[in-house]
Structure 1
Amino acid sequence: MAGGSRLRAWGAILGGLMMVLAVLTACAGPYQYYEGTGLHDATAAEVAGGWENVEGTRVVLRKDGTALLEKLDGQDFDFEDGWRVSGTGTWQLADKEGGQVVRLALAVRTRVESRSPATAADTATPEPPSTYAWSFYVDRDQHDKLKLFFCYGDPDIGNTYVMRRETGS
């Protein structure tokens, strides 16, 4: 009888450990541990210029390392707060083992907007930061044109915020 009780106890412990491991591995979504695109051949001159996305965001990366931002959302979980900031800042192209990234830093916030009217009416919406930093991954599309992107929201979903070269740039 004592042997059967021990066996059941060990079975319960092992079952509990398996459940914990299953939960932990289920949270490791596609972008949670994203290392980069593997791109290492972009130049700062190629990255400089105007960038936009379908949501009306516009970013101008000047050759002197300064930047203009219009309606840029937060990345990762900050995106869910619903704020969009405009202002000025700095940028640089960095090369990491996993690929190149554009590090963009908001230095002076000039305007704050909300992504949707429902968010603006929500009094629980956190105050947007007065300074902020983004890391945009650098990649090339099927036509070998640069695109910049970051991941946002729940990493299990794998949402990307894509910036493409501004029309006419």
Structure 2
Amino acid sequence: MAGGSGLRAWVAALCGLLVVLPALTACAGPYQYYEGTGIHDATAAEVAGGWENVEGTRVVLRKDGTALLAKLDGQGFDFEDGWRLSGRGTWQLTDDDGGQVVRLVLTARTRVESRSPTTVTDTSTTAPPSEYSWSFYADRDQHDELKLFFFFGDPDIGNTYVMTRETGS
């Protein structure tokens, strides 16, 4: 029965792997190891201008590297806090192996709003930041139009916060 014990050991090892592998990857959500869109052809001139999303967020990226933003939600888990920031800041288009990213930094907060009273956590422990930074991935839609996005919420879900060219821009 030497062959039988070898088979049993192989089956036991396989079963062990099937139990351990999901546990190891359970926290590796879609964006935790996101490597980018692979877009490398966007220019700063193309990125400059007005951007909006369906939630009423508006971001203006000026050609001189300054930015105006209104009602911009937090990135990642910060989204769960429910605050929306408005103010002035700076931006730049960066490029690495994974693709291009727009780095936006809020340097002067002018207003804080909330998405809804039910989404805001206790502000005594989670006050909205006075300065904040976002990393928007540059991508293209089916019409080759540029769009910007970041991930928000639980990393296992992979929700995207998409900004498209402002109507009329």
User: For the Cα contact (< 8 Å) 1:31–1:155, is it kept in 2?
Assistant: yes
User: For the Cα contact (< 8 Å) 1:153–1:159, is it kept in 2?
Assistant: yes
User: For the Cα contact (< 8 Å) 2:81–2:120, is it kept in 1?
Assistant: no
Mapped to 2, the partners of 1:120 and 1:105 lie a distance apart of 22
Q: 1:65 to 1:120 in 2, by over 3 A?
A: same
Q: Is 2:118 the counterpart of 1:118?
A: yes
* 2:79 counterpart residue number: 79
User: For the Cα contact (< 8 Å) 1:119–1:125, is it kept in 2?
Assistant: no
**What secondary structure is seen at the aligned counterpart in 1 of 2:91?**
strand
1:122 CA displacement? 4.8
**What secondary structure is seen at the aligned counterpart in 1 of 2:155?**
coil
**What secondary structure is seen at the aligned counterpart in 1 of 2:118?**
helix
Mapped to 2, the partners of 1:120 and 1:146 lie a distance apart of 32
What whole-Å deviation, never above 9, does each CA across 1:74-93 have from its counterpart, x for those lacking one? 00110011000000000000
> 5+ residue gaps in structure 1?
1-10
CA RMSD of aligned residues (A): 2.2
* 2:134 counterpart residue number: 134
**What secondary structure is seen at the aligned counterpart in 1 of 2:119?**
helix
Mapped to 2, the partners of 1:55 and 1:125 lie a distance apart of 26
Give TM-score, length-normalised by structure 2.
0.86
Larger CA deviation: 118-127 vs 35-44:
118-127
Count of equivalent residues = 159
Larger CA deviation: 74-83 vs 119-128:
119-128
1:24 CA displacement? 2.2
Give TM-score, length-normalised by structure 1.
0.86
* 2:45 counterpart residue number: 45
* 2:102 counterpart residue number: 102
Q: 1:123 to 1:105 in 2, by over 3 A?
A: closer
Mapped to 2, the partners of 1:51 and 1:80 lie a distance apart of 22
Identical columns (%): 81
What whole-Å deviation, never above 9, does each CA across 1:4-24 have from its counterpart, x for those lacking one? xxxxxxx7xx95x86454222
**What secondary structure is seen at the aligned counterpart in 2 of 1:30?**
coil
Q: 1:123 to 1:110 in 2, by over 3 A?
A: closer
> 5+ residue gaps in structure 2?
1-11
* 2:4 counterpart residue number: none
1:1-169 aligned within 5 A: 15=16, 19-119=19-119, 122=122, 126-169=126-169
| Counterpart AA for 1:79 | F
- Runs of 4+ aligned residues of structure 1 deviating over 3 Å after TM superposition are 17-21, 119-125
Q: 1:58 to 1:125 in 2, by over 3 A?
A: farther
| Counterpart AA for 2:55 | E
* 2:9 counterpart residue number: none
